[in-house]
Amino acid sequence: LGPIRQPIPPTNASQPNCVPIPSSATRREERRSFAGRRHVAAVALLRPTPRRPSPSPPPTPPPPRGLLRPRLARGRPVRVRRPGPPHRRAAGGLGAVLAAAGPAPLRLRALPPHHALAHPPLQRGLPLHRHLLPPLPPISTPARTPGLAPPPPSSDLESHVLFSDGRLVAAAGAHVSALADMPPGHARDRAAAAIAASARFSHRDIFYDFNAVGASDVAVVHVPEGAKMAGDPVHIMFAYSGSDGASSLMMSNPRVLVIAEKGAEVAIVEEHFGVGEEDGGCYWANPVVDIIVEEGARVVHSYVQRQSSAAAHTKWTTVQQNTSSKYEFVEVSTGARLNRHNLHIQQLGPETETDLSTFHLTSQNKQIHDLHSRLILDHPRGFSRQLHKLIACGTGNGIFDGNIQVNRYAQQTDAGQQTKCLLLSPKAVVNVKPNLQIIADDVKCTHGAAISGELDPNELFYFQARGVDANTATDALLFSFGAQVINRIPFKAIEKKALAQLKELLAVSRQNN
C-alpha cells in the first residue's frame, strides 16, 4: 500500500523556516489560463507606480480597455496647437491665402490647415499617413476680378445665384440675396445664427474648414414662413475656370445657406461646371451648401456636377430637418478628375422624411468619384430612402460609403438603402460600403448592394429577340440605368441637359474601351 502520508499541520508564517500553505483563493489564481495571466500581467504593468507627491498632479495612465482597441488607434497622438487669432493663423502657407476673406463667424472658428492632423482619418475616409497623399502644386485663390472671368451662361429662371471662381457675382429673386446685403431684421438674424451654428459643426473635415476660411461671402436663400416656391425654383450656378499650364492650383470656396421656415416649400437647382478654354482647365472647387428645413417645410434639391476633366471637386452638403419636414435630393455627377461629396443629413424631429437619389459616372481613365453619406435618425416615425447608382468605365474608380444611424429613440423608423454598380472594364474598381447601424428595437430597415461586371443576358436577349443588335441594346440598357435617377429631377430643362450629356459620355467611353 506504500507509506502513509501524514497530514501536515498548519504552520504560522511568522515562524522561521516555515512555508505557508497556499489558500484556496491563491490556488484558483494559479489555475487561470495563460491568456488570463498575461492579461493580468499587462494590466499590472499599466498601473501607475507610487511616486512622491508633487505640486502638479501625475499624468493619468491609459485605461486597461486600451488593450482592446485596434492597433492603428493606439498610435502616438499628434500634438496640435490651439488655434490662435486669425492674423496669427494666417502667418504662412495656405492660411495666409485663405484667411484674407470670409465671413467673420466662419473665419474665427475655422481651424488652421495643419489642424487636419487632428481629424480622425479612420472616420473621414482619408489616407492614414501623409506620405500616401499625392503631391499637389501650390494652392492659390483666384486673383482676378469676377468681371474678367469668362461669363457663365445666364439663367432663364427669375430667382438665381451666380458664382464665378468662388465669388458671388449676382443674386436675384424675391428671397435670394448675399449675406452682406441683407437688411437688418428677422431674416438676417436667422442667417447669422445658422452660420454661427455651422461653425460648430462637429463632423467637419479639413475641406469644410478650408471653405469656412476662404469663403468671400455667403449666398442666402431665405424662404419665409408659409411661402410656396416649389414651382419657381432657385437656380444656383457655379462657374469655374483655370489653366492647365499654371504653376499653382486655383482654389474656389463658394458657400450657400438655404433656410426654409415653418411650412415653406422651395426647390433648388445646383449646377457646377467649367467655362473658358477646354471647359475650365485645371482648378479646385470646394463648395459648401448648408440647408435648414424647419417644421413642416419641404425642400427639393437637384444637384448636377459636370466639372472639367482635369478639375478637383470636393463638396459638403449639410441638411438639418425638423419635425414633419421633407427633403428630396437628386444628384448627377459625371465630371472632375477627382470628385468627393460629403452628404450629411440629420433628422431633428419625429415624422421626418428623407429621399436620396444619386448617380455617378466615371467615363475617363483614372477618374475617381466618391460619395460619403451619413443619415442620422434620432426621433420616432422617421422615413428615409436612399438609392445610389454607379457606372465605372476604363480605369475609373467609384466609391460609396453610406451610413444610416438609427439611434435609441428612433422607434418605428422605416429606412431603406440600396446601391447598384456596373463595371464596364476589367480595370475598373468599385468600393462599396453600405452601413446600417440600428440601436432601436422597433424599426423596419433594409439595405443591399449589387455589383455586376456585365449586363443581364435576359435583358439583352429581350432586345435582340425584337431585332435590335447587341451594341444598340447595350447602349439602351446603360442609358436606362442612369436615367432612372436623372428622371427624378423635377425640372425638364435640367433633366434634358443631363440626359444628353449622359448619352454623349457613354458613347465616348464605349469608343475608348
**Among 333, 323, 329, 411, CA closest to 370:** 333
Give me the chain's average pLDDT, please: 77
Average pLDDT over residues 229-258: 83
Reduce the DSSP state of residue 246 to 3 states and report it: coil
What pLDDT sits at residue 138? Answer: 55
How does DSSP assign 415-429, residue by residue? Answer: EEEEEEEEE-STT-E
- Fill in the DSSP letter of residue 168: E
Q: Which helix (H) or strand (E) holds 458?
A: helix 457-464
CB atoms within 10 A of CB 476: 15
Residues in the chain: 513
Residue 158 to residue 155: CA distance in whole angstroms:
8
Residue 84's pLDDT is: 43
pTM above 0.95, yes or no: no
Q: What angle do CA 57, 58, 59 make, to 5 degrees?
A: 120
Phi, psi at 389, each rounded to 5°: -125, 145
Give the tens place of pLDDT for each residue, 42-69: 444 445 555 555 566 666 665 554 444 4
Percent of all residues in the chain with a pLDDT value above 70, rounded to a whole number: 67
Q: How confident is the model at residue 183 (pLDDT cuts 50, 70, 90)?
A: confident
For residue 373, what pLDDT is reported?
Answer: 95
Res. 376 pLDDT band, cuts 50 70 90: very high
The band of 117, judged by pLDDT with boundaries at 50, 70 and 90, is very low
